[in-house]
Amino acid sequence: MAPKVNYPQRMCVVCRERFEQKALLRLQCKEQRLSSHSGYGRSFYLCLTCIDDEKKVTRALARICKSGDINYLSTQLKEIIADVRQS
């Protein structure tokens, strides 16, 4: 019988569903700027299905980053997603 492997579970900040950590996009806000997680500090996760729902994501990002400039956060998210998809 093979041993049961438990992978870390994390929650998407938009849909609040739990997924394996490796299936999520990890981001962080520093000084009201959105960026990929740098390895230290607080971070949050987005699932791949929620990334495509721009309206819900921008609302969640505004809440997390404590920023009123939703257009700026949306633009930053699009740049990060483009970089991740190219990699």
Q: What angle do CA 10, 7, 37 make, to 5 degrees?
A: 45
Q: Is the pLDDT score of 34 beyond 80? A: yes
User: For residue 25, which of 40, 16, 13 has the smallest C-alpha distance?
Assistant: 13
Does the domain at 10-86 match CATH 3.30.870.10? Answer given as: no
3-class DSSP state of 36 = strand
Chain segment 35-44, per-residue pLDDT in tens: 888 888 899 9
Cα 41 from Cα 8, distance rounded (Å)? 18
The pLDDT of 41-51, averaged and rounded, is: 91
Q: Is the pLDDT score of 54 beyond 90? A: no
Given this model, what pLDDT does residue 2 score? 65
Given this model, what pLDDT does residue 11 score? 96
Q: Is the pLDDT score of 4 beyond 70? A: yes
In this structure, are residues 47 and 10 in contact, taking their beta carbons and an 8 Å threshold?
A: no
| Domain range list for the chain | 10-86
pTM of the predicted structure, to 2 decimals: 0.83
